[in-house]
Amino acid sequence: LETELAQMSTLVREDPLTRSLNRRGLDDEFAREASRADRYKHPFCLAVLDIDNFKALNDARGHRTGDEALIHLLKIAKEELRLTDHIARLGGEEFLIILPNTPIDGAVKIITRLQRSLTKKYFLDNNEKVLITFSAGVALRAEGEPQEAAIARADAAMYQAKQTGKNRVCTAQDVPNKSNR
């Protein structure tokens, strides 16, 4: 019964396709890491990733190939990310990576390394190499900043990466001081 309960708990927290965290799992991990960061005054970053030209990939090669591309991205991410990092599917081809105890420059390096690794480890569709890239926005969460606000800042930086050429990492603007909020 305990084993079954543990399996059910995992299913409730995981995206069934990619085996990344789903929204419930993201909410749990974000709350845990934000609390830890605030308590110990550690930096805490997050990154929003969006696969470039995903609609074109789906249209040209089909939704099954699109699903396999998502799975490929997660496989590479799990190889490249640290054990303490968490990846969650926000929806469609968009993911969020939680990078605890990581300053902004370190987070940018980690996400850039993931980008480079993804371009080196080709995704194969019918034995044909298909280049998959993503645009990312990285934000340093301010102490006490709500989850949605931090994600919105990272998301805005990701859109900046898309608008300035794709396959790049942009950093979010800092949160205004508490006195300015």
What pLDDT shows up at residue 13?
87
Q: Which residues contact 87 (CB under 8 A, 6 or more apart)?
A: 20, 21, 74, 77, 78, 81, 95, 96, 97, 98
The single-letter DSSP state of residue 87 is E
Q: What is the pLDDT of residue 106?
A: 98
pLDDT at position 179: 44
**Which residues are catalytic, by number?**
93
Q: Is the alpha carbon torsion for 67, 89, 77, 134 positive or negative?
A: positive
Average confidence (pLDDT) over 66-74: 97
pLDDT digits (tens, 9 = 90+) for 19-32: 999 999 999 999 99
What's the mean per-residue pLDDT of the chain? 92
Does residue 176 sit in helix, strand or coil? coil
**pLDDT band per the 50, 70, 90 thresholds, residue 178:** low
Residue 176 class from Cβ within 10 Å (0-12 exposed, 13-18 middle, 19+ buried)?
Answer: exposed
> How is residue 179 annotated by DSSP?
G
Q: Provide the pLDDT for residue 11.
A: 60
> Binning pLDDT at 50, 70 and 90, where does residue 12 land?
confident
How many residues belong to the chain? 181
* Residue 181 tokens, joined: 């909020």
Tell me how crowded residue 161 is: count the other CB atoms within 10 A of its CB. Answer: 23
Long-range CB pairs of 32-40 (<8 Å, 24+ gap) are: 33/86, 33/98, 33/100, 34/141, 34/147, 36/100, 37/100, 37/101, 37/141, 37/143, 38/143, 38/144
What whole-number percentage of the chain has pLDDT above 70? 92
Q: What percent of the chain has pLDDT over 90?
A: 87
Tokens 């926005």 locate to 137
**pTM for this entry:** 0.91
Q: What is the pLDDT of residues 93-136, one digit of tens each?
A: 999 999 999 999 999 999 999 999 999 998 999 999 999 999 99
Closest listed residue to residue 178, CA positions, set 142, 134, 153: 142
Q: What is the pLDDT of residue 175?
A: 81
What was the pLDDT predicted at 181?
A: 43
